[in-house]
Amino acid sequence: MKYLSAIGFVFFSVFCNAQKSIIEEIGLDTFQVIGCTPVKDQYMSGTCWSFASNSFFESELIKKGKGNLDLSEMFVARYSMKRKIERHLQLKVETSLLLVVSFMMWFG
């Protein structure tokens, strides 16, 4: 079993070196430095999803050459929460109306 493992390791090592030379032949650069915005503190807002998504969009804008823009994380979070609240209230009203209609059908 040890011999089989050693042979497999040697074969795998040779294969990896072959891949490295192919990458150098094609001229692919495995590491590119793109611009990024500075790290922002979210403190205890619980909106890491907003900070992460805006950081991604800011990096994409920099990569496309649109400049170093600072998108507002709280704008996205505020309107997302607003839509969640509106949806919750809408479902609550629909449920209440359905309940009233059901009671009227059952009890007259």
What ranges do the domains of the chain cover? 1-30, 39-108
* Higher-pLDDT residue of 61, 89: 61
- The pLDDT of residue 57 is above 70: yes
Specify the pLDDT at position 38: 84
Is it the case that residue 24 has pLDDT exceeding 70?
A: no
Say what the pTM is: 0.54
Using the predicted structure, report yes or no on whether residue 29 has a pLDDT greater than 60.
yes
The size of the chain, in residues, is 108
Token pair of 100, please? 């009233």
Burial 3-42 (b: 16+ CB within 10 A, else e): eeeeeeeeeeeeeeeeeeeeeeeeeeeeeeeeeeeeeeee
